[in-house]
Amino acid sequence: MKYFELKNKIIELFEKNGIDEPSDADWIMVEVLGVSRSMLPFVQNISDSDVLKIMDIAKKRAEHVPIAYIFGKTNFFGRDFKVNENCLIPRLDTEILVEEAIKCIKKKNQVVSVLDIGTGSGAIAITIASETSAKVTAVDVSKKALEIAEENAKANNANVKFVLSDLYENIKGERFDLIVSNPPYIETGVIETLDREVASHEPILALDGGEDGLNFYRRIIQDAKFHLNPHGMIFFEIGYNQSQSVRKLLEKDFENIKVVKDYGGNTRVVFAELREI
Ligand SMILES: C[S@@+](CC[C@H](N)C(=O)[O-])C[C@H]1O[C@@H](n2cnc3c(N)ncnc32)[C@H](O)[C@@H]1O
């Protein structure tokens, strides 16, 4: 079968199932055929066994399983990360959080210690450990997510200390120069309205930020002063409508609060410096 014939067949299947991601048809073929996307239009003869493999994957995608979970991997900041339904799929927007944290670490001209809270696949912690000389600790309350994060650290040769912990619970007495977190921040009532790919496949533990979506910001900020060194910084990813609320939460113990927008123009990252007592 030719590329265009098979692509049309897959898109028809997707449309029947309410999936508006024609590019996924290409990514499935890239994965199975092992050719680059730009070469796909030149593929003239896809074997019957490859057509079967491609259609099997397309059927899973038609059931709204995210492509990253089907392939078991995704890319973040130029590195491959293993993912499965026990961890959130790292998002492009989160690269902005990482970029801001890296800028700050590089400015400090010293070995900086970093705590990543809610590490999931380990994308944030592993990227920071790979791109800087920071000493990185990462916590998550999900044992299964930490198993994936550990595999990802190994595969990327990154030195990260992983700790199973409900926020700061198992890192008592430890202080860091930076706290970085992309915590669960979706309002509980909104979760069921999200795309099926997210609501039915990504772990609820990674999404649910409580009734107003702010539970984790409250909890992380409340105890941050016990886990930051003087002049310590905190970096959060936030929902598009949360910058004012998170700023308010930060104002008690933090100063120099800055907000950064994402590629879509929404406020996406907030960072601030611990106020001197
Ligand atoms: C939005 S996901 C972020 C995952 C990853 N850092 C990323 O950016 O792709 C939030 C993560 O917080 C973890 N989490 C939820 N509650 C937690 C808690 N009480 N303590 C530590 N981690 C928690 C979840 O398991 C999940 O991995």
Q: Of 186, 85, 189, 76, nearest to 127 (Cα)?
A: 76
Q: Is the pTM of this model over 0.75?
A: yes
- Which positions ≥6 away from 48 have C-beta within 8 Å? none
Q: What is the mean pLDDT of each run of 10 residues along the chain (277 residues)?
A: 95 96 96 96 94 98 97 97 98 97 94 97 98 98 98 98 98 97 98 96 97 98 98 97 98 98 95 93
Ligand 1 centroid–CA 140 distance in Å is 6
Q: Which atom of ligand 1 is least distant from the CA of 185?
A: 1
The Å distance, Cα 255 to ligand 1 centre, comes to 25
Of all protein residues, the one whose alpha carbon is nearest to atom 27 of ligand 1 is 120
The pLDDT score that the predictor gives to residue 15 is 97
Q: How far is the CA of 115 from the centre of ligand 1 (A)?
A: 13
- Cα separation, 123 vs 119, in Å, equals 7
DSSP summary character for residue 101? H
* Bridge partners (DSSP) listed for residue 136: 114, 160
Residue to mutate, 119, 168, 194, 221, ligand 1, most ligand atoms under 8 Å from C-beta: 119
pLDDT for 104: 97
Of the candidates 145, 101, 103, 142, the residue with the CA atom closest to the CA atom of residue 122:
145
Of 4, 228, 255, 192, the residue nearest 113 (C-alpha): 228
Distance CA 80, CA 83 (A): 10
Judged by DSSP in three states, 188 sits in helix
Token code pair at residue 176:
């860091």
Dist. CA 58–CA 13, nearest whole Å: 8
For position 109, what pLDDT does the model report?
A: 81
Give the β-pairing of 267-274 and 254-261.
antiparallel
**Contact criterion met (CB below 8 Å) for 115 and 138:** yes
Of all atoms in ligand 1, which is nearest to the CA of residue 166? 20
Residue 210 φ then ψ, to 5°: 85, 180
The pLDDT assigned to 47 comes to 96
Q: How far is the CA of 29 from the centre of ligand 1 (A)?
A: 32
d(CA 164, CA 135): 18
Name the burial class of residue 177, with classes exposed (0-12), middle (13-18) and buried (19+) by CB atoms within 10 angstroms of its CB: buried
Note the pLDDT of residue 243: 97
Residue 222, Cβ neighbours under 10 Å: how many?
14
Cα separations in angstroms, 138 against 115, 164, 212, 236, 259: 6, 9, 25, 14, 23
DSSP reduced 3-state for 115 = strand
